[in-house]
Amino acid sequence: MNPLLLALLITSLSTSTIITMASNHWLLAWLSLELNTLSILPIIMKPAHPRATEATTKYFLIQTTAAALILCATTLNIWQTGQWTILHTPNPTTTMLLTMAIALKLGLAPMHLWYPDVLQGSTLPTALIISTWQKIAPLALLMMMHNHLNTSTLMTLGLISALVGGWTGLNQTQVRKIMAFSTIAHMGWLMMALSLNQELTTLTMTLYIMMTTTLFFSLTTTTTKTISDMGTAWPSSPTLMTMTMLTLMSLGGLPPLTGFLPKWLIMKELTH
């Protein structure tokens, strides 16, 4: 891709997320979410492979459906309250619609089936952007609506996502698909954290992004596509593979490692 074009797309992608996080008006938030989707589409499509085209089409359809739902919900909200403010969405119907739309954008179970296919059709660096940066804007909206969200809905979405992500990931051989199911499971934990404590949600998200980025960089360096590729990468770079192994354990939430911290704290909050 032309470096100037890539720079423009990356700038647009970054700016749109930051605008969503900074906005207090539903229309501006919706507009920046659309801009975000339009910026990532050429990046996913770049390899010009049928798989990439399919992934782009799926991503586009899902994201625009979710954005249309958000617009519908916010229109309902302004009819009832006369306000465009994100912080002021007291109506339960509006809140439920918005929660479902954002869950669709994030790829939470049971609306998760598009996500592994999109990741499988993307290159590893693009899959990294979809798994990390693209989660920030929808989560920021959820955090802004925090006071009006339905705890039972969030808990249910979180539980289903954690279970589906964990179990379905066992059945895969493709690394990108495993990472997709890992993300679905982590988003589930994140939803549970969101219904309990906002500071904990921020911590969980930050650590998730750090661990996922580390793992994707390791996979990109060794050009790992399947699990069997990981076995063959050991002789050429044992240090990197040791690092990858530790990162995987951390993502799984094993006690001495960083990934255990958010899970421990969420469990602690859940048992209160």
In degrees and rounded to multiples of 5, residue 174 shows phi and psi of: -80, 125
Looking at residue 235, its amino acid is P
The answer to whether the CB of 250 falls within 8 A of the CB of 257 is yes
Q: What is the pTM of this model?
A: 0.95
Q: What is the pLDDT of residue 203?
A: 97
Q: How confident is residue 272, by pLDDT bands cut at 50, 70 and 90? A: confident
Asked whether residue 1 carries a pLDDT value surpassing 90, the answer given is: no
Compute the average pLDDT of residues 222-232: 89
Q: How confident is residue 236, by pLDDT bands cut at 50, 70 and 90? A: confident
Residue written as token pair 């032309």: 2
Q: What is the pLDDT of residue 233?
A: 86
Cβ atoms < 10 Å from Cβ of 258: 16
Q: What is the pLDDT of residue 230?
A: 86
Give residues with Cβ within 8 angstroms of 89, minimum separation 6: 77, 81, 95, 98, 145, 148
- DSSP string of the chain? --HHHHHHHHHHHHHHHHHHHH--BHHHHHHHHHHHHHHHHHHHHTT--HHHHHHHHHHHHHHHHHHHHHHHHHHHHHHHHS--BTT----HHHHHHHHHHHHHHHT-TTS-THHHHHHHHS-HHHHHHHHTHHHHHHHHHHHHTGGG--HHHHHHHHHHHHHHHHHHHTT--BHHHHHHHHHHHHHHHHHHHHHH-HHHHHHHHHHHHHHHHHHHHHHHHTT--BHHHHHHHTTT-HHHHHHHHHHHHHHHT-TTSTTHHHHHHHHHHHT-
The percent of residues in the chain predicted with pLDDT above 70, rounded, is 100
Q: What is the pLDDT of residue 235?
A: 87
Reported as a single tens digit per residue, the pLDDT across 159-213 is: 999 999 999 999 899 999 999 999 999 999 999 999 999 999 999 999 999 999 9
Choose among 130, 219, 114, 118: nearest CA to 175.
219
Give the integer Cα–Cα distance in Å for 259 and 254.
7
Q: What is the pLDDT of residue 70?
A: 97
In degrees and rounded to multiples of 5, residue 173 shows phi and psi of: -115, -20
Give the integer Cα–Cα distance in Å for 97 and 153.
11
Query: Among the listed ranges 9-13, 53-57, 90-94, which one has the minimum average pLDDT value?
Result: 90-94
The parent domain of residue 214 ranges over: 3-271
Number of domains in the chain: 1
Cβ atoms < 10 Å from Cβ of 203: 16
Q: What is the pLDDT of residue 94?
A: 95
Give the integer Cα–Cα distance in Å for 246 and 147.
37
Choose among 65, 60, 66, 71: nearest CA to 25.
71
Cα torsion at 240, 244, 246, 249 (round to 10°)? -170
Asked whether residue 152 carries a pLDDT value surpassing 90, the answer given is: yes
Reported as a single tens digit per residue, the pLDDT across 31-51 is: 999 999 999 999 999 999 999
Mean pLDDT of the chain: 95
